[in-house]
Amino acid sequence: MTSSATPALPLSVNVELLFREAGDDLGDRIRAAADHGIRTVEIWSHSDKDLDTVEKALDATGSSLHTSLVEGRLTLADASTHPAFLDHVRAAAETAARLNCTRIVTGSGVGLPYMKRAVQHGIVVEALKAGAEIAAEHGVSILLENLNTRVDHPGTLFDTTAECLAAVREVDSPGLALLYDAYHSLQMGETPEDVLSAPGTMDLVSHVQIADLPDRSEPGTGSVDWAGLLSGLRGLGYAGPIGLEYLPTTGTVEGLGHIEGVVRAL
């Protein structure tokens, strides 16, 4: 960043999407992010990565890996998928622990049209309970992410923040928390004040990710008032990194300018 002051809400960058100018090597992207002053990064999958390269880049730059994914988009409302899901959780947790990453991200998968929603919810919660136990054994947490059904993920069962929060409360484990994705929430017509202001709710939020509407582009290119939204999140008690997971329309550094200015001003 252009200022040496630590922002009220630090930024985290998904290096699958950002700093691609540094090349295909994720280690080089991590180094480029660190050169820019951002030392918290995120990735998606792990099984297709050169983990030695990632680990060396994290160590060399003093960066931290904040999130990675539980691989596989399984339909957790179908109990027959649970053994495979738990295998994916175990693999993700082991990799995360190796890289000193404490958060692995999943969604609910799609819903089943032939089964009542409440029944499906209960089956998903059972998978998350078992997964949370595995995650906690490795010192990590599963982050359950809300995914919108209006634009990006049609058919997803847990497409509202409320349903994700209900599942986190039911599991009631340090191995499960919420990833509040503001982009997906806003696409569903929600606001942080609508869904996160109830007492105790922010205690369940482990991470926040953002992108602008309507096209999931960099903040400042769309319709969202980022100063207002991030001030609101801060006022609700969130103090962690803001994860940048968007589809850039310009160079990474140029595209970061707006959101860096916003967080500096908070």
The pLDDT assigned to 8 comes to 83
Domain contains 175: no
Residue 148 phi, psi (nearest 5):
-75, 145
User: Is residue 81 in a domain?
Assistant: no
Segment 117-128 mean pLDDT: 98
Residue 90: what are its φ and ψ, rounded to 5°? -60, -45
Mean pLDDT for the stretch of residues 86-101: 98
Give me the mean pLDDT over the 111-139 stretch: 98
Q: What is the pLDDT of residues 190-224, one digit of tens each?
A: 999 999 999 999 999 999 999 999 999 999 999 99
Residue 1 has pLDDT above 50, yes or no: no
Domain count, the chain: 1
Position 154 in a domain: no
- List of residues 6+ apart from 115 with CB closer than 8 A: 77
Is 41 inside a domain boundary? yes
pLDDT at position 3, please? 42
What mean pLDDT comes out for the span 228-249?
Answer: 97
**Over the stretch 34-44, which tens digit does the pLDDT of each residue have?**
999 999 999 99
Neighbours of 84 (CB within 10 A): 11
Q: Which of 134, 129, 39 is nearest to 96 (CA)?
A: 134
Task: Quote the pLDDT of residue 4.
Answer: 47
Residue 248 lies in a domain: yes
188-197, pLDDT tens digit by residue? 999 999 999 9
Q: How much of the chain, in percent, has pLDDT values that exceed 90?
A: 97
> Is 11 among the domain residues?
yes
Average pLDDT, the chain: 96
Asked whether residue 107 is assigned to any structural domain, the reply reads no
Q: Which domain covers residue 26, as residue numbers? A: 1-69+211-266
State the average pLDDT over residues 55-73.
97
Domain contains 226: yes
Name the residue among 179, 244, 207 with its Cα closest to residue 17. 244
